[in-house]
Chain A
Amino acid sequence: MRSAFSAALTRLGRDNPDVLLITGDHGYALFDEFRTACPDQFINAGIAEQNMVGMAAGLARLGFRPFVYGLSAFVPIRVVEQIKMDIAHDDLPVVLLGDGAGFVYSHLGPSHQSAEDIACARSVPGLTVLSPGDRYEMTACMDLAYDLRGPVYMRMGKADRGEVHAGTLSPLVVGEPICVRSGPADAPALLATGAMLTTAVQLAEQHGPMAVWSVPSVKPLSTEAIAAISRSSSAIVVMEEHSVHGGLGAAVTEIVTEVEPCRVLRIGIQDRFSKHCGSYDYLLREHGLDLASVKERVDAFTATI
C-alpha cells in the first residue's frame, strides 16, 4: 500500500510540475522515489505543522498543488484551524495526507495514535475525507484527490493488511461506497473503511453470506447509496479504526436515521485512550477491533435483529 502511495505521488509529481510534496519532517525513506524523480518539488517544512499548512495555502493560491504529509495525529488534529481558515475557507486545492491513522504507532502510545481525525475533518466545511482500504483504493484515492481540485484530507492507516480488490479500480466517484461482495437482504451489510476493510471481508467469510461495502470516500457520503444499502439489508455494521464518535459509523447513522431507518452497529474505538503499548495486533485486541472480538459483537448483534 505504501509503495502504491509512493508510485502515485511520484507519477502525479512527474506529470505536473506544480505538484509539491511538503512534509513536516516525516516520511524519511517513504519519499525516496519522489525525491529522486522530482527533487525540486520536495519541501521539508521542519517540525512545524501549523506553519506548514499555512504555507501550503499560500502556495496553492499561486497555482501550486501541495500534498502536505504528516502523521494523522498531527495533520489534521494539530492544524484543524489552519485547515479550516487557510485552506477550506477558500476551497484551495491542498491534499492533506495523514499517515499512521488508528493504532499504527502502537508502541508509541496515545500521542501518535489517531482516533479523532475523521471526526475533526468531517466538520470542516467543504473538506473531502478519503480513507483507502487497500493498495488499489490508495491509487484511486490519490488520483481522485488530485482531480477534485479542492481541499482533501486522506487518511492513511495500517498499510500491510492485504488486498481486497482483484486489480486496478475504475476511477472513484466521490461519495460512493464500493461493493466488495453482495449479500442477502435478511443479513446485515458490513461497511468498512481503511485498515478495517480486510477484517470486514474475513468476517463475512466466517459469518456466512453478508454484503461488504468499502467506503473510501467518508465525506461526502452519498445519501442515496447508504439508503439503498439500508433498504437491501437487515441492518448495518460499520467498522473503522477510529473513534465511534464522529467517524464513519456516525456518518452512516446520521444518514439512515433521516432517510431510511435501520439498526446500526458501530464498531470502532470506544471513548478512551490506549491503556498499554504493544504490537498493532495487541492494540486491536485491547480495543476489541481484532477479528475474533468483532465477530463476537456482530454475532450477538445479528441475534437481536
Chain B
Amino acid sequence: MLYRSFVRYPGGDPRHPDRDYLVLSKGHGVMAQYACMREMGWLNDKEHIERYFGDGSDLMGLSDSRTPGLEVSSGSLGHGFSVGVGIAEGLRRRGTDQRVFAIVGDGELNEGPIWEGMLFASHNKLSNLMMIVDANGFQAMGRTDDVMELGSIRQKLESFGFETADVDGHDQGALETTIRTLIDSDSPRPKALVAKTIKGKGVPFMEHDNQWHYRHLSAQDYEASIEALRAEVAL
C-alpha cells in the first residue's frame, strides 16, 4: 500500500535522488519488502528470489542497504529510525517535498535511540517524517506487554510532539485514508501512525503464536499457509 499510493520513485528507480525514502528500521520484516520489491521490478526470480538465503545470495535475512530499494542496514534494532531522521533533516535542508516513511516495530521501541530521534524530529519540526509503528504486540521473547509494557504508544508519541493516528494495520482502505490525512496535515509536527497488526495474520495456526518468530515451515505447514492466505485474499 505504501509502494502503491505514497512512496514516490521517479521513473521507478529505487535509487533516484528525488525519491521518497522508505526506511525499514525493523529489518526483520525485510521479507515483506522483498515481495514488494519484486513487484516493483527491482528483484527478479532467477537471480534473487530463487537464490534467496542460498550461498552467495545478495538478499540477506535482514535489511541490507547495498540492495537497491533498501535504504538502511537494519536488524540491529534502533538504528534505521535515526538514519531516517537524518535523511528527513537533510531533505528539509535541501528544501524538497520528499518524504521519509520509517517503519519501526513496537518491540523495537525498547531501544533508546528511537526516543532520541523522536526528540530531535519534534524539536526540528521534521514534518516530512512519518513514523509507522508496526504494533503487533510481540517481541522476541513474548508479548510486549509482558516484556516491557509500553502503555499507550500513541499517547507516548503524542507527548513527544508527534501528530499521531491509530489504525487497523490490516485494513488497507483505513490505512490509506489515515496516512493521507497525516500527510495532508498543515501541522509542522512530525507524523506517527500506530498500525495495530496481528503477527502471522491470515494463517490461523500462526496468529498470536510467537513460536513462529523462530520456526521454519515444513512442506505441510507451507501448503496449509498458502491455502489459508489464498482464502483470505479471496474474501
Interface residues, chain A, with chain B CB atoms under 8 Å away: 43, 45-46, 48, 50-64, 81-82, 85-86, 89-90
In the complex the two chains form, is B90's CB within 8 Å of A59's CB? yes
17 A/B residue pairs, CB under 8 Å, sorted by A:
A48-B116, A50-B78, A50-B113, A51-B85, A54-B85, A54-B86, A54-B113, A55-B83, A55-B89, A57-B83, A57-B86, A58-B84, A61-B83, A61-B86, A62-B91, A82-B82, A85-B73
**Cα separation A56 to B117 with both chains bound (whole Å):** 12
Question: Which of B65, B88, B120 is the one whose CB lies under 8 Å from A89?
Answer: B65
Question: Which of B90, B112, B119, B123 is the one whose CB lies under 8 Å from A58?
Answer: B90
In the complex the two chains form, is A50's CB within 8 Å of B119's CB? no
| Given known contacts A82-B82, A89-B65, A51 and B90 CB-to-CB distance under 8 angstroms | no
Given contacts A51-B82, A61-B71, 10 further A-B contacts (CB under 8 A): A46-B123, A51-B119, A55-B83, A55-B86, A55-B117, A58-B82, A59-B90, A61-B83, A62-B87, A82-B79
In the complex the two chains form, is A62's CB within 8 Å of B116's CB? no
In the complex the two chains form, is B88's CB within 8 Å of A58's CB? yes
Is B180 close to A, CB under 8 A? no
**Cα separation A130 to B113 with both chains bound (whole Å):** 27
In the complex the two chains form, is B90's CB within 8 Å of A48's CB? no
- The secondary structure that dominates the B interface is helix
Question: In the complex, what residue of chain A is closest to B71 when comparing beta carbons?
Answer: A61
In the complex the two chains form, is A54's CB within 8 Å of B73's CB? no
In the complex the two chains form, is B120's CB within 8 Å of A46's CB? yes
**Cα separation A56 to B82 with both chains bound (whole Å):** 9
Question: In the complex, what residue of chain A is closest to B72 when comparing beta carbons?
Answer: A86
Question: In the complex, what residue of chain B is closest to A53 when comparing beta carbons?
Answer: B82
Is B66 close to A, CB under 8 A? yes
What 0/1 pattern do residues 43 to 68 of B give for CB contact below 8 A with A? Answer: 00000000000000000000001100
Is B172 close to A, CB under 8 A? no
Is B187 close to A, CB under 8 A? no
Question: Which of B73, B86, B116 is the one whose CB lies under 8 Å from A46?
Answer: B116
**Cα separation A46 to B123 with both chains bound (whole Å):** 10
Is B155 close to A, CB under 8 A? no
What 0/1 pattern do residues 91 to 102 of B give for CB contact below 8 A with A? Answer: 101100000000
**Cα separation A60 to B89 with both chains bound (whole Å):** 11
| Given known contacts A57-B83, A85-B73, A50 and B112 CB-to-CB distance under 8 angstroms | yes
Chain A nearest CB from B101 CB (Å) reads 13
In the complex the two chains form, is A62's CB within 8 Å of B65's CB? no
Q: Lowest 6 A-B CB distances belong to which pairs?
A: A58-B86, A54-B82, A55-B86, A51-B116, A48-B116, A62-B90
**Cα separation A90 to B73 with both chains bound (whole Å):** 9
Question: In the complex, what residue of chain B is closest to A63 when comparing beta carbons?
Answer: B90
Question: In the complex, what residue of chain A is closest to B118 when comparing beta carbons?
Answer: A51
**Cα separation A85 to B27 with both chains bound (whole Å):** 13
List of B residues within 8 angstroms of A60 by Cβ: 86
List of B residues within 8 angstroms of A86 by Cβ: 72-73, 79, 82-83
**Cα separation A57 to B87 with both chains bound (whole Å):** 8
Chain B nearest CB from A19 CB (Å) reads 12
In the complex the two chains form, is B89's CB within 8 Å of A59's CB? yes
List of A residues within 8 angstroms of B82 by Cβ: 50-51, 53-55, 57-58, 82, 86
Question: In the complex, what residue of chain B is closest to A82 when comparing beta carbons?
Answer: B79
